[in-house]
Structure 1
């Protein structure tokens, strides 16, 4: 007498019986968890967009180092425009850890521009000594931006301006302690396509 082997359909039916009640409960719960996660992300993005718009409009907003990269960039630009560079450095470090190369390059350009503005203010006041390291820091920031995003035209242009500015400092080899008035015509350089005498 031969015994019949159970069919595949019968085996599957028997295996499905204990699993079915678990799936009936688990699937709606998984859907609910997914919906809550999506709602949380949407709320976070809405808050970040609101803060970015406020910073762009000139309203100060505190930003944590673990904020989304776009919000970090907005805060970096806000602080750099106001030359609050001590507050910029930790945010740039946080952005370097999580941001895309394009966002990191924009942050470096903002930092370089702030340093270059400080250098210009020193040069216009005839104070050449403190201007030199500021120009060097600006050049470093522009080089980092170009490493991250080689096609960044603003970084290329501003790096060229900063490089010519250092090269054209008047009489860098003068004696220590010797007073010398700054002549803006010797400091500002001629850049192709720009009016004569402008940076």
Structure 2
């Protein structure tokens, strides 16, 4: 079959398909516009929820909410010291694809626990401070497992570790796998000798 004979067949096929395509095109464009509008509406709702949480209003969030909204809820809960309620949302963030958001949430929880421990230490209440510092260290480690380059978590983990080491009165028999030496009195500053003072 020659090329000239195939040309009328193509024109006939195009002539039959053209009305159907012209009818389908507006429907496809309308479906695409509806999908974009729904996505914009969800984004606007999430942004309004984040703004409300930042303003101090308490908004209930489900586990299916967008990840940035769940992170904002965790931040609001940890600011108020509601660590138990925040932990459930943190676990949903850690299992999702955005691991850095889970690391930020875990970091916020650890900071809340460390602040509580500092408040106990300021009142010379060592018994409740020790477990809080241990939990904060574990949370900082979990944040670093999800995001190894999270410098703030590294720094705060070091602070919490030094607190455990510097206060030998803390009970270190449970909750933490790394034990500090109870009689360690010399400095760990690089370049300083470990001899007599």
Contiguous gaps of at least 5 residues in structure 1: 174-189, 193-199
Asked if the contact 2:102–2:143 (Cα under 8 Å) also holds between the matched residues in 1, the reply is yes
> Aligned ranges for residues 64-79 of structure 1 at < 5 Å?
64-79=62-77
| Structure 1: distance between partners of 2:170 and 2:140 | 23
**Residue range with higher mean Cα deviation, 24-33 or 92-101:** 92-101
Ranges of 4+ aligned residues in structure 1 off by more than 3 Å: 3-6, 170-173
Unaligned 5+ segments in structure 2 are: 172-186, 190-197
Aligned to 2:41: 43
- Structure 2 equivalent of residue 166 of structure 1: 164
Equivalenced residues, count = 174
- In structure 1, what is the Cα distance between the partners aligned to 2:89 and 2:152? 21
**In 2: Cα distance, 1:5 partner to 1:57 partner:** 71
After TM superposition, give the deviation of residue 86 of structure 1 in Å.
Answer: 1.6
Equivalence for 2:141: 143
Normalised by the length of structure 1, the TM-score is 0.78
The alpha-carbon distance between structure 1 residues 74 and 172, as it changes in their structure 2 partners (threshold 3 A), is: closer
Q: Is the 8 A contact 2:118 2:129 kept in 1?
A: yes
Instruction: Name the structure 2 match of 1:197.
Output: none
| Superposition TM-score, scaled by structure 2 size | 0.79
> Alignment RMSD, CA only?
2.4
